Amino acid sequence: MTRRRKLRGAIVVVLSLVLVAGGIYTVTALVQRSEQLVTEGCTAVVGTQRAELATDQAANAALITAVSVRRGLPPRAASIALATAMQESKLRNIGHGDLAGPDSRGLFQQRPSQGWGTQEQVMDPHHATNAFYDALVEVPGYATMAITEAAQRVQRSAHPRAYAQHEAMGRVFASALSGQARGALDCTLRTPDAAGDPEALLAEAESAYGALPATASGRTLELEATDDLAWSLAHWAVANAKKFAVTRVQVDGQSWDRQARNGWQDAGASDGRVVITLAGDPA
């Protein structure tokens, strides 16, 4: 009887371990599957206006807007630039043109043959964006023009009215990414599959905004900024969260959490800082 009891006990233990292992496997599989079902994208909401972009489009929109902030241009300039880039390239840095402009390239489909720079330059989003703004600021009264009119004065497109369909998107994302609208940009993302690099994130931010007072510690990057600039940087970090494995952004008493996927929430971030947390090495 003693041997039988021991045997039964051993069988129970083995079966329990099998069930536990099976349960862990099932839970892990469900978590992985739920991650795969997450539809990634970014949304900007300002008042009653709402617009959506894919994550790569949002990152390009963040760059275009950051350059306008660095140059001290009004948010209207970013609205015009975003509407233009959406029409010309779908906010993607494409390496081809079309029948009307076979040598067109980049975010704004600028043509080397028309003086926008070399092919390599117009494929550089920083050069392309600055070239667009260089032309835009030469348009008298651009800040009070209809977006489509200002865009056409720069681009001289064969389809001048096409920019109008992207005006709402341009205004909403420009308001959020310039920092005028607080807590207006949210990105839904899957869990990072690699660790983030604070130094790489800082280098990318400074390439767009210029030098930034910053402190990096472990997986955290702190940027000193207030008011519109603070929110511009915070929204920029969210828009670039997929590329740089950002998991959390805190600013002005608000926090964006990648895992929670519930937008901006009240938090304890100190004023005068944008605190960006990046993912560690995956388990």
Reported as a single tens digit per residue, the pLDDT across 50-60 is 999 999 999 99
Average pLDDT over the chain, rounded to an integer? 89
Lowest pLDDT segment from 166-175, 185-194, 267-276: 267-276
Q: Residue 269's pLDDT band (boundaries 50, 70, 90)?
A: low
pTM of the model: 0.86
* Model pLDDT, residue 102: 82
73 CB-near residues (< 8 Å, 6+ apart): 133, 137
Q: Quote the percentage of the chain above a pLDDT of 90.
A: 76
Residues 107-145, buried b or exposed e (16+ Cβ, 10 A)? bbbbbbeeebbeeebbbbbebbbbbbbebbeebeebbeb
Q: Quote the percentage of the chain above a pLDDT of 70.
A: 85
* Model pLDDT, residue 98: 73
**pLDDT of residue 24 exceeding 80:** no
Q: Residue 31's pLDDT band (boundaries 50, 70, 90)?
A: very low
Q: What is the mean pLDDT of residues 120-132?
A: 97
**pLDDT of residue 229 exceeding 60:** yes
**pLDDT of residue 28 exceeding 50:** no
